[in-house]
Amino acid sequence: MTLGTEPEAFEFTVDSLETQALTKAQLADLLFEQIGLNKRESKDMVDAFFERIVQSLVAGEDVKLSGFGNFQVRTKAPRPGRNPRTGEAIPIEARRVVTFHASSKLKEQIQGS
């Protein structure tokens, strides 16, 4: 799934954040304040956006957000592990994990700030 090819001309300011994390509720508030959607539409849009990403990843599809990065589902093989408390050997089962790779544009912006 690829979303967008070029970044939009919207500039979001996040001056009022109390924590270091940007939440879905804050994203919905930004849509409400800066684009003019009503609060319900803003929340629904943010929820639909993330739900679509989740659906794609669960289906094993890569998610590519132009100018931001790529999410991929990877299958990790089973491997031997060890309980750090007891030192006992325990098997770690095969599992699927999501990885994120930032785009070069995002990396450049982070390095420039």
How confident is the model at residue 7, as a pLDDT? 45
pLDDT digits (tens, 9 = 90+) for 81-96: 999 999 999 999 999 9
pLDDT digits (tens, 9 = 90+) for 23-71: 999 999 999 999 888 999 999 999 999 999 999 999 999 999 999 999 9
The DSSP call for residue 7 is: -
Whether residue 73 contacts residue 98, with contact meaning beta carbons closer than 8 Å, is answered with: yes
Whether residue 95 contacts residue 78, with contact meaning beta carbons closer than 8 Å, is answered with: no
| pTM of the predicted model as reported, rounded to 2 decimal places | 0.70
Provide the domain limits for residue 34: 2-112
Return the CATH number at 84. Answer: 4.10.520.10
Whether residue 54 contacts residue 76, with contact meaning beta carbons closer than 8 Å, is answered with: no
How confident is the model at residue 84, as a pLDDT? 94
Strand 69-76, strand 95-102: pairing:
antiparallel
Q: Is 25 helix (H, G, I), strand (E, B) or coil?
A: helix
* Overall number of domains in the chain: 1
Distance CA 88, CA 81 (A): 9
- At 17, the pLDDT band (50, 70, 90 cuts) reads very low
